[in-house]
Amino acid sequence: MHSLAKTEQKIEYVLFGVLLVVLAGLTLYLTYQQAWYAANNMTDVAYHSDILAYMKEAQGIDSGYSFPYPVMFVLTKLLHVVFPIEWSIALVITGLHVGSFVLLRHYFRKYLQKTVSGELAVWQQCGVTLAAFLVLFYSMIFVYNHPFPGTRFYYMGVFSPNPFHNATYQASRPFAIICVFLFTELLNTYEQKIDWKKAIAFSAMLLLATMTKPSFTIVFCGAAGLIMLYRMFKRKFANFRNMVALGCMFLPTFVDLLYQFGGVFTGTDSKGQEAGLGFELFRVWREYCDNYIVAIVLMIFFPLVVLTFQYRKVTTNTLYRFGWQIYGMSLLMFILLYEKGFRAVDANFSWGYMIGAFFLVMCSLLVLVEETCKAKRHSWGLFIQWGAFGLHVLCGAFYFMIIFKGGSYY
């Protein structure tokens, strides 16, 4: 019996290893192609991405942009001592992107160990690993060269939780994943007792996420801050001391944000235009989309389907609720805020919107996996929810292949 269990465990390990190699190979090939075409000024031919400015930053060359978040650039610079710049940045992005898969598998398994009674069967373990892999290929629903009514492009204006063309997004995500799971655990206990080991680890990961790309931090801190304030007022300040103590874990990140945005959102930009933060409903979004409801549904159709069947869990499952809260904050910020100057059309607040959507998708998927593992028989509701997820992944695989072959990401 023990031998059988070990054999079954090896099956999951083999699957994990295969998916790890596949993801690393695909990511390394794509990012190297993007870097090579950018370095040779051939992105008008194929593999258009944001990577040229990042390579220049890592080499100390003026790119015309401000990047006050150094983690990816420092790692690239270190590898550039040995490798050409194209390989250096490709290896950094690949390593961090693969790290997201490893972390998702770890936290998915950890979550299910707490919520599903008994040991997971081998098919369930393999399913969890596969789910952690597939969520990295989830995209907006689209039909190639046929935009949905109210949209103009398949990506721009609709957006995707997995923008395969953006290096800093992929580089910051492993740190963001750790932050979401650690903070959710802290939310469950901080009013009674703070686990300082987790709190300090959370503080460090939040700072690293901010120093890699601050888009996640802005929406995350907005959602976390409102949750903590709401709980404080609801309990009539009974948890005030612990709230302040946990809030102190955000201070290193706040200091770094002040440093980053002090240069980006004040004075003038690199082209001499007014810089700063603007407030206007749909100021940037309307440049790319005419029907925001359609765009939202195309992005989060799967979470909406899961919510239809699992709505009770919003009140009982902290992680699932937090996924919706992060997404809500990211959506609100994207609707209200924009960056002034020549970068307004870059829709930089859309990155926060996309990472918010990613965590909503991730939390919805985890709830669905949990329900599937608990189910004594597979109901039609589960098939509908998995079908919605499958539709997004099918579109995501096609979207990835378009970019993988050098096509346009937008």
Section 97-107 average pLDDT: 98
Q: How far apart are CA 144 and CA 137, in angstroms?
A: 17
With 80 as the cut, is the pLDDT of residue 370 above it?
yes
Is the CB of residue 402 less than 8 Å from the CB of residue 408?
Answer: yes
Q: Is 180 helix (H, G, I), strand (E, B) or coil?
A: helix
pLDDT > 70 fraction of the chain, expressed in percent and rounded: 93
pLDDT of residue 410: 85
pLDDT of residue 45: 85
pLDDT of residue 171: 96
- Residue 277: what are its φ and ψ, rounded to 5°? -100, 125
Q: How far apart are CA 96 and CA 214, in angstroms?
A: 16
Is the CB of residue 293 less than 8 Å from the CB of residue 153?
Answer: no
| Burial of residue 196, with CB atoms counted within 10 A of its CB: 0-12 exposed, 13-18 middle, 19 or more buried | exposed
pLDDT of residue 310: 94
pLDDT tens digits, 337-359:
887 766 677 778 899 999 999 99
Establish how many alpha carbons lie within 13 A of residue 175's alpha carbon, considering only the half-sphere containing its beta carbon: 25
Question: Which of 26-35, 80-89, 201-210, 263-272 shows the lowest per-residue confidence on average (mean pLDDT)?
Answer: 263-272
Enter the pTM of the model: 0.94
pLDDT of residue 1: 42
Is the CB of residue 250 less than 8 Å from the CB of residue 221?
Answer: yes
pLDDT > 90 fraction of the chain, expressed in percent and rounded: 77
For residue 63 the two structure tokens come to 């790119």
pLDDT tens digits, 273-307:
666 777 888 888 998 999 999 999 999 999 999 99
For residue 244 the two structure tokens come to 């302040």
